Structure 1
Amino acid sequence: MVPIALTIAGSDSGGGAGIQADLKTFSALGVYGASVITALTAQNTRAVTLVEAASPAMIAAQIAAVFDDLNIRALKLGMLGGSEAIETVAQALAGQHLPVVLDPVMVAKSGDRLLPPEALQSLRHALLPLATLVTPNLPEAADLLDTSPARTEAEMIAQGHALRGMGAQAVLMKGGHGTGSTCVDLLVEEGGVTALTAPRLTTVNTHGTGCTLSAAIAAGLAQGLALDDAVRRAHAYLQGAIAAADSLGVGSGHGPVHHFHKVWAHG
């Protein structure tokens, strides 16, 4: 049977992030993708112009329908939009003993806020304890911890352990918002820290990178990979998708990464 992963996240009408990016990533890595849509967004590569949340009843019904019929092997949680949705998802997942990758989506690449500040407390208390892995960028980790963004690897590691102390089993501190010619992500686990490095690529086409990375990790977990192996493969996959992004030419703002860079090329 094909492994199945479930993404619970918002829809991106521009196709570069959210549910659309997750399903493309699952498919590119050989996993069947199911989805629960938590919100509709009207957005393109330049801006988010409207966000409309799905009702808690609709979110719960989608989750129930999927689990009633499909053999889900891993979960990815993305944009949830607000406290009601977060609490609904947490309640619906109670008792599901599956790997959960939590991407704490707060701000779109365009700078538009996707999670109200008042929902942070729900995210901390309802979802972090469910996470096999949480994948914050530096500003997101700082928001979750109510502190300043990490500036050094030592600070990244300390913040990763602090997030583990809030309930997450492991934390991938993403260094994309850092500086320097090398981008460093740090996988912080109980047993130690693993550094994943890559050249910092110069491109504006990075829309959906966080969604894509977390979905790729969830795909690996659905296929039975160990967490560190799933993270390493996902990291390499994302680097290839970013490197090929400029060949797509989608939109006039922050364009998407090339999810199918190993399948087809353009330009």
Structure 2
Amino acid sequence: MNKDKTIEKKKIPCALTIAGSDCSGGAGIQADIKTMLSLGVYASSIITSLTAQNTLGVRDIFNLTRHFLNEQFDAVFTDIYPDAVKIGMVSNKEIVEGIVENLKKYKAKKIVVDPVMVSTSGSVLLQEDAISILVNELIPLATVITPNIPEASKLSGLEIKNRKDMIKAAYLIDENYSKKSNGRPAILIKGGHSIEDANDLLLYNGELTWFENERIHNDNTHGTGCTLSSAIASYLSLGYDLKEAIKHAKEYITNALKCDFDLGAGSGPLNHAWKITA
């Protein structure tokens, strides 16, 4: 006689990306999903904006409504609750306010905020009236923020030219949040824009950690910031602590850059699938 057997469900780590869509596939939501999939994580997405862009730059941006943003949050968090969240492009005040409200409502955890202000090609992606909300309301909810050097300069008010400036900037940013009661994120300043090296600096619980990496001489860097932050979120969802998550994320992006894809007429995309095609 056959007995009913209960099928044991396998727990799959889940990560959520909240960002803009890149129709060319190299950055934004598309890069995040590719990264998460490659790292063995189930990816869900909440789209904040639609962009018309390619390897040459951003042509146009269409922002979704606050109502539709809320509907996406409800759909994701009431069904497949994420183990970690990555937040990328948030272009206007209304969207940032909506994200803050919903992250609090659903008690989201392990939040990686990539404070995207300007694209690699130089296009402004964050409106001025949204910056104060990003800085004062969204960033305090983060586990870690991942500004590049231009973004860290804007957040700290300090022009960054070298490693010493990166350290000063990290402490200045941290000081701003040490005075706030609603959150104090770890700060990872990405050194990819530095002329010296590609080393990143983490300030976490008052401790500085350098992540030393070789500079990859590759002009095809479209979506590197999106990829790193989504990789960190992926490793956090897999249960790694923050330093280990950053270390592994750096290794992932370094190898994705080494593939040196040559797609498009401008700054081409990375090989997000290198781990599963090697």
When the two structures are superposed, what TM-score results if normalisation uses the length of structure 2? 0.91
Contact 2:41–2:234, Cα closer than 8 Å, also in 1: yes
Q: Within 1, Cα distance between the matches of 2:35 and 2:161?
A: 30
Query: Does the CA contact (< 8 Å) of 1:134 and 1:168 recur in 2?
Result: no
Give me the whole-angstrom Cα distance separating, in 1, the residues matched to 2:89 and 2:108: 21
Whole-Å separation in 1 of the counterparts to 2:45 and 2:168: 34
Listed as ranges, the gaps of 5+ residues in structure 1 are none
Q: Which of residues 161, 170, 177 in structure 1 aligns to 2:186?
A: 170
Q: What's the offset of the Cα at 1:36?
A: 0.1
Partners of 1:31 and 1:223 within 8 A in 2: yes
Aligned residues: 261
1:49 offset after TM fit, Å? 0.7
Say whether residues 1:179 and 2:195 are aligned partners.
yes
SS at match of 2:270: coil
The structural deviation recorded for 1:204 is: 1.1
Structure 2 residue aligned with 1:203: 218
SS at match of 1:120: helix
Q: How does 1:53-202 map to 2 (within 5 A)?
A: 53-95=63-105, 96-145=107-156, 147-165=157-175, 166=177, 167-180=183-196, 182-202=197-217
Q: Is the 8 A contact 2:158 2:169 kept in 1?
A: no
Q: CA deviation at 1:97?
A: 4.4
Question: CA-atom RMSD, angstroms?
Answer: 1.2
Distance 2:59 2:33 in 1: 23
Larger mean CA deviation between 154-163 and 94-103 belongs to 154-163
Deviation digits for residues 199-242 of structure 1, max 9, x if unmatched?
A: 21111100000000000000011011100000000011010011
Alpha-carbon contact 2:85-2:108 (below 8 Å) kept: no
Deviations 1:153-203 (A, max 9, x none): 2221222122223244201011111112x3110111114111111121111
| Secondary structure in structure 2 of the residue aligned to 1:262 | helix
- Segments of structure 2 that go 5 or more residues without pairing to the other structure are 1-10, 178-182
Cα drift, residue 94 of structure 1: 0.5
Cα deviation digits, residues 15-39 of structure 1 (max 9, x gap): 0000000000000100000000000
SS in 1 for 2:118: coil
**CA–CA distance in structure 2, aligned partners of residues 249 and 242 of structure 1:** 11
Aligned residues with identical type, % of pairs: 43
Contact kept? 1:120, 1:144, Cα under 8 Å: no
Counterpart in the other structure of 2:51 = 41
Measure the CA separation in 1 of the matches of 2:70 and 2:150.
30
> 1:92, CA displacement in angstroms?
0.6
Q: Structure 1, residues 124-150: CA drift from partner, whole Å, max 9, x if none? A: 1111110100000011011123x2332
Q: 1:39 is paired with a residue of what secondary structure? A: strand
- Counterpart of 2:18 in structure 1: which amino acid? I
Distance in 2, matches of 1:211 and 1:79, equals: 9
